[in-house]
Amino acid sequence: MKNITFLLALVAIFSLSSFANSQTNSVELQDGGGTLISQHASIEEAYNAIPATITQAYIIEILSSYAGTSELFPISLTIRSGSSSVNTITIRPDAGIPAKSFHQVILQE
Query: Tens place of pLDDT for every residue, the chain, 109 residues?
Result: 554 544 444 344 444 344 445 578 999 999 999 999 999 999 999 999 999 999 999 999 999 888 888 888 888 899 999 999 999 999 999 988 876 666 666 565 4
| Ordered alpha helix ranges (H), 21-109 | 43-48, 99-107
User: What residues contact residue 39 under an 8 Å CB cut-off, 6+ apart?
Assistant: 24, 25, 27, 28, 29
**Cα of 75 vs its chain's centroid, Å:** 10
d(CA 16, CA 74): 26
The pTM for the full model equals 0.73
In this prediction, residue 101 carries a pLDDT of 61
What CA–CA distance (Å, rounded) separates 67 from 104?
Answer: 9
